[in-house]
Amino acid sequence: MLGNAGIIHSQEDRTEVMLSEEDLALINVLQVAPRISWADAADVLGVHATTLAARWDRLRSAGAAWTTAHLIGDPKQMCLALVDVDCEMRLRAEVTAELAAIPDVVTVEEAASNRDLMLTVISPTLEQFTDHVLPRFKEIPGLLKYRTSLGTRLHSAGHTWRLNALDNAQQNALRAVVGHEIAGSAGARTGSPLPPSHLDLIPFLARDGRASAADIARSLGRSPATVQRQLNRVVSSGLLTFRCDIAQNLSGYPVSCQWFANVPPGQHEAAAAELRGLRTVRLNASTSGRTNFVILMWLKSLADVMTAELALQQRIPEIELVESAVILSRAKRMGWMLNPDSTATGAVVVADAGVPSLALG
């Protein structure tokens, strides 16, 4: 159900869940192919389709994992901003809630660093960020100061991160079964905008990237056949990217650390290529500001922060690690509101259907 403030609320009851190896394997399959049929997933995992569907319902209702969809913007126009926020200590919770309610503010984090909050902001243009997002910051009581650096190139993002929970046979089976779907997920854009009747489907796919035509049709009061045609066009348009996310505390990598670094001009692409060999990297981008390179990793423990820094120095000898920030808590990730234990609350802050976003960390 879409709320008044652009928030889709879930009415599902939540129960505590622990992830088994079978759960992780299912999530890994959905990371690769978020809309794979249960029959095809059954062929990959060797488990009956109805069992997989029930397992996914349990994981989703517990907020342990979820699928979502994002409109893809023009990379030449999109504005990625990393914003540090200082706020009054007694009003931090209120400031966090106000910031999280802004659709362009896709991620809100508290970090062990010299700023109170760290924001990831994605706007369709720099003008949108400057004229519509920043003025909202100035209206929030308790927000004292903010500092902004802008992304100049996105090298890698969270939608490509994998659990690595599939064995070789399962990986080969997945490629064989849904190779066309994997290729199609990054397919060429049609170049033609979707009509409003099709854009109406986007909030439902943001809430559930696996939403069926029948589910959407019931909510919109349209015939299932009509919505199926619209859904096929939306999915195949290349205008959407689908992803499966997992509660970080249940992923085996409960620690997030972000590094602010400097890399010599002209060496950013080579540095990004080296980072692709580190499977813990969730986000890597070139930026403006005091530093020009940012790296976000999910790690198994705090002790791995030093290990990761050593790996960065070995792979990129020219890198200067200026600052590291360990994430203490995350209120929002890629539009999804989170509980303190990193599970999804079921509430999604949805941008206007005509405003695209990127899929980041």
| DSSP string computed for 224-252 | HHHHHHHHHHHHHTS-EEEEEEE-GGGTT
Other beta carbons within 10 Å of 131: 11
More confident residue, 201 or 181: 201
Q: What is the pTM of this model?
A: 0.88
Percentage, residues of the chain above pLDDT 90:
79
Region 266-292 average pLDDT: 96
What phi, psi does 336 have (nearest 5°)?
-95, 130
pLDDT of residue 324 exceeding 70: yes
Q: Is the residue at 258 inside a domain?
A: no
pLDDT tens per residue, range 6-22: 444 444 445 566 899 99
**What's the total number of domains in the chain?**
1
Residue 66 structure tokens: 């979820």
Residue 6 is classified by DSSP as S
Q: Where are the alpha helices (DSSP H) in the chain?
A: 21-32, 38-45, 49-61, 92-100, 126-128, 134-138, 168-185, 196-199, 202-207, 213-220, 224-236, 268-275, 303-315
In the chain, DSSP finds a helix count (H) and a strand count (E) of 13, 13
Residue type, 245: D
Q: Is the residue at 228 inside a domain?
A: yes
pLDDT of residue 180 exceeding 80: no
Q: Is the residue at 220 inside a domain?
A: yes
Q: Is the residue at 209 inside a domain?
A: yes
pLDDT tens per residue, range 23-68: 999 999 999 999 999 999 999 999 999 999 999 999 999 999 999 9
Rg (CA), the chain: 20
Q: Using an 8 Å Cβ cutoff, are 349 and 357 in contact?
A: no
Q: Is the residue at 152 inside a domain?
A: no
Total residue length of the chain: 361
Handedness of CA 293, 297, 301, 307 (dihedral sign): negative
Structural domain boundaries enclosing 220: 190-237
CA end-to-end span of the chain, whole Å? 25
pLDDT tens per residue, range 111-148: 998 899 999 999 989 999 999 999 999 999 999 999 99
**148-162, 234-248, 341-355: least confident range:** 341-355
Q: Is the residue at 226 inside a domain?
A: yes
Q: Is the residue at 7 inside a domain?
A: no
Residues 6 or more apart whose Cβ sits within 8 Å of residue 195:
none
Q: Is the residue at 197 inside a domain?
A: yes
Q: Using an 8 Å Cβ cutoff, are 31 and 37 in contact?
A: no
Distance, in Å, from the CA atom of 94 to the CA atom of 141, rounded to the nearest integer, reads 8
Say which CATH number the domain at 224 has. 1.10.10
